[in-house]
Amino acid sequence: MKTPLSIKIYSSVTELPANWNDFATENIFMSKKYLEVLEKSAPSNMFCHFIGLFDKDKLVGISLSQFLDLNKLESFGERDQCVKNAIRNTILKRFCSHILIIGNNMLTGENAFSFSDTIEKVEILLSLKTASEKLQTIFKKRGLKVHITTYKDFQEEELKSFHQAGFKDYFQFSAQPNMCFDIPNHWKSEQDYIDALSKKYRDQYKRARKKADGVEKRKMHLEDIIKHEDTIYDLYFHVAKNAHFNTFFLAKNHFRIFKEILKDKFLFYGYFLDNKLIGFNTIIKNGEVMDTYFLGYDDSIQREKMLYLNMLYDMVAYSINKGFKEIIFARTALEIKSSIGAKPLKMYSFAKHSNPIADLAFEKVYCYLEPDVEWKERNPFK
C-alpha cells in the first residue's frame, strides 16, 4: 500500500519551500508573491495558512487555507430585508461563525491547490482532508472551534475525484456561477468586439459610452493609490456593504500592498469626474487569463454615467487589445455581465459541519441563507 503524503502547514511565506513557485507557474494566485499579499493585508477576520504536500521529502503539491471568523464582522450585507437579516445573522453567529476554507474566498474559480502530475488527485484530496483536521487542531489550541469546513469552487469534471476521496457525506452545493468571457483568437481590437455585437447590444454599448461623457479613466500607480487611499476605501466599502452577503471586508491597505508586491501584474484604474475620483476597478494578469478583482463607485454617479457597465466594457477592451484568451468576471451582477458576453460556468463546493446534528440541518439552512438567484442569460452577439 502506498505511503500517504506528508503534510506541512506554514503560517508565513518566508517558511515556504524554495521550489513552491514550481507549482504556481499556471496560477498567480498560488504564487509566493500573491500569498505575501494575503499575509500582509488579509481581511481582519481572516487567517491564512499555506499547505505543502510531500512524497517522502519531495514537494508534490501546494494548497491554501483560509479561516474566517464571522463574529468579527459588523454586517454580513445590508441589501436584504431586516427580518431575514436578523435571522440569518443569529444563525451564522451561533452555529456557522468559524469557517475553514480549502481554497480562496476572495476569488471565484479553482484556486485551492496545485500538484505534480505524478500524483493522483484523489491522493491530494485525501491529504487535504488530513490537513484540514490538523488546522482544526491548530485553531482549537487558540480557542477557536471550526464549525464548517469547506472545499471551494470546482468544476463538474472534478466531482468524481471528490466522491472517490470519500466526500460523499459532505454537503455538495453550487453558489452563483463564475461568469467567464472567452476571447476568440481572431479578435485583435475592441472594434472586433463591437462588430460582433447584435444591433441591440451595439446600441447598448454606444449608449453607455455616450453616458460616460466627461468621465476620465486613469491608470493609477502606487503613489496615486496611496494618495487616494481613503476615497478608494470609501468607494469599495459602499459597494461591498450593499452586497447580498459578505464574509469579509478588505483591509484599507489592501490595494496598496497588492500594487507594491505584484507591480504590473496588478492594474488599478480610477475614474474621475471634474478631477474627483468617483470609481475604480482592478484587474490581475494571470498568464493568458485576466481576472477581474474588486471595484468601487459613487452610486449616484454610477447610475447617471452607467459607470459599472463602462468598466466592464473597458476590461473587455483591454483584455482583447493585450491578447488575453479569457476574462474571469467572477460572481455577482450575473445579468449585466451576461449582456456584455460573459457565460456562466457552474462551480461546486463541499462543506461539512463539525456537529453531526447541525450537519443534518446544514443543507436546509444553506438553502435559506443562499436562495437561488433568478436571472436571465443574454446573448449579445450576432
Mean pLDDT, residues 8-25 taken together = 98
Answer yes or no: is 198 within a domain. yes
pLDDT tens digits, 38-71: 999 999 999 999 999 999 999 999 999 999 998 8
Looking at the fold, whether 242 and 280 belong to one and the same domain comes out as yes
Looking at the fold, whether 120 and 24 belong to one and the same domain comes out as yes
> Per the structure, how many domains does the chain have?
2
Mean pLDDT, residues 173-181 taken together = 93
Q: Please give the share of the chain, as a percent, with pLDDT higher than 70.
A: 92
Residue 358 confidence (pLDDT): 75
Looking at the fold, whether 30 and 143 belong to one and the same domain comes out as yes
Q: Please give the share of the chain, as a percent, with pLDDT higher than 90.
A: 83
Cell representation of residue 286: 494571470
Domain of 355, in residue numbers: 6-175+347-369
Answer yes or no: is 195 within a domain. yes
Looking at the fold, whether 237 and 289 belong to one and the same domain comes out as yes
Looking at the fold, whether 133 and 165 belong to one and the same domain comes out as yes
Looking at the fold, whether 358 and 275 belong to one and the same domain comes out as no
Q: CATH number of the domain that 19 lies in? A: 3.40.630.30
Question: Model's pTM, two decimal places?
Answer: 0.93
Looking at the fold, whether 226 and 322 belong to one and the same domain comes out as yes
DSSP 319-376: HHHTT-SEEEEESS-HHHHHHTT-EEE--EEEEEESSHHHHHHHHHHHHHHSPPPP--
Answer yes or no: is 20 within a domain. yes
Answer yes or no: is 382 within a domain. no
Mean pLDDT, residues 209-233 taken together = 98
Residue 26 confidence (pLDDT): 95
Looking at the fold, whether 79 and 185 belong to one and the same domain comes out as no
pLDDT tens digits, 140-151: 999 999 999 999
Q: Which long-range contacts (CB under 8 A, 24 or more apart) does 158-167 make?
A: 158/110, 158/121, 158/348, 159/348, 161/121, 161/122, 161/125, 162/125, 162/350, 164/122, 165/121, 165/122, 165/125, 165/126, 165/129, 166/126, 166/129, 167/125, 167/350
Looking at the fold, whether 148 and 270 belong to one and the same domain comes out as no
Looking at the fold, whether 157 and 21 belong to one and the same domain comes out as yes
pLDDT tens digits, 265-283: 999 999 999 999 999 999 9
Looking at the fold, whether 277 and 242 belong to one and the same domain comes out as yes
